[in-house]
């Protein structure tokens, strides 16, 4: 992730983040939505982790940001797996993914996990904007976080499609290896022929395909297949918009991942 220099786009994303924060505070304070405090707790937790890594490990903004992202991916992956396993034991596979369950019901722990993760995406957006850890006219990572914040927060406000959104977080399983690779390289471990690196790349590709690409395609298919079961309103269009954005970003992520894989292999070949 290159550090960007464009100020105008940063101002736009900072403005959207401030508006989002005002909205969340308004819901908590004036509408008495105490359950949304988990968003604030999530933001504070990951900001505290940022300060701890910066104080005890490294002051490099990119290393700190990536390390906190690795922490989030790990915590979220464990949370999502526990939520899904619990529901599998309670309801069984046939009843877990029916329309009513995914749209109107909320699995045990799902609301809190989604709120806590929402706090992370707000923190990460703030951290990247603060240290300009982005590049391009329309940085995909900032756009990704904006889409998630809009979709996640509106769902939390209305208490709908919570389980659908928890399923989208299965992709954090892939993010573990995505961030672990970056931390490894920043730590100076770049031997592409080592067994650890080879296993890491295998897991990186496997989880990218299964936990990110296939999972998001299946969610999109389910939304389209059950379109007639949705009530009229913004829920279905917003869900389809969000998944279209995620699927498109997955394409760009896959291309970036392939370029990184080839670059590591070529650097090793030239080193030999």
- Average model confidence (pLDDT) across the chain: 93
pLDDT band at 3 (very low <50, low <70, confident <90, very high): low
- Count CA atoms closer than 13 A to 147's CA, side-chain side: 20
Is 27 a domain residue?
yes
The encoded tokens of residue 19 equal: 């508006």
Is 1 a domain residue?
no
pLDDT band at 2 (very low <50, low <70, confident <90, very high): very low
List alpha helices for 92-171, DSSP H: 93-96, 99-103, 110-131, 140-158, 162-168
pLDDT digits (tens, 9 = 90+) for 173-202: 999 999 999 999 998 887 777 888 999 999
Is 163 a domain residue?
yes
Q: What are the residues whose beta carbons fall under 8 Å from the beta carbon of 208, sequence distance 6 or more?
A: 174, 178, 253, 254, 257
CB 107 within 8 A of CB 98: no
Q: Could you give the number of structural domains in the chain?
A: 1
pTM above 0.85, yes or no: yes
- Examine the pLDDT at 7 and tell me if it is beyond 70: no
Is 79 a domain residue?
yes
Is 2 a domain residue?
no
Range of the domain at 48: 7-271
pLDDT digits (tens, 9 = 90+) for 79-136: 999 999 999 999 998 899 999 999 999 999 999 999 999 999 999 999 999 999 998 8
């Amino acid at each position: 992730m290159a550090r960007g220099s464009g100020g105008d786009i940063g101002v736009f994303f900072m403005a959207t983040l401030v508006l989002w924060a005002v909205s969340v505070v308004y819901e908590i304070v004036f509408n008495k939505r105490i359950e949304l405090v988990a968003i604030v707790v999530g933001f504070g937790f990951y900001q505290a982790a940022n300060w701890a890594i910066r104080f005890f490990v490294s002051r490099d903004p990119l290393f700190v940001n990536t390390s906190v992202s690795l922490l989030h991916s790990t915590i979220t992956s464990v949370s999502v797996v526990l939520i899904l396993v619990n529901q599998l034991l309670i309801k069984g596979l046939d009843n877990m993914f029916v329309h009513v369950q995914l749209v109107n019901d909320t699995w045990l722990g799902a609301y809190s996990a989604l709120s806590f993760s929402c706090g992370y995406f707000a923190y990460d957006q703030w951290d990247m904007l603060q240290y300009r850890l982005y590049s391009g006219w329309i940085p995909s990572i900032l756009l990704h976080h904006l889409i998630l914040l809009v979709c996640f927060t509106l769902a939390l406000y209305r208490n709908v499609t919570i389980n659908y959104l928890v399923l989208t977080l299965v992709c954090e399983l892939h993010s573990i290896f995505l961030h672990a690779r970056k931390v490894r390289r920043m730590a100076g471990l770049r031997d592409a022929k080592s067994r650890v690196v080879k296993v890491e790349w295998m897991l990186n590709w496997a989880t990218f395909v299964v936990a990110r690409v296939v999972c998001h395609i299946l969610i999109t298919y389910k939304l389209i297949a059950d379109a007639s079961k949705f009530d009229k309103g913004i829920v279905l269009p917003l869900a389809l918009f969000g998944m279209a954005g995620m699927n498109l970003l997955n394409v760009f992520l896959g291309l970036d991942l392939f370029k990184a894989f080839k670059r590591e292999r070529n650097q090793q070949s030239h080193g030999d």
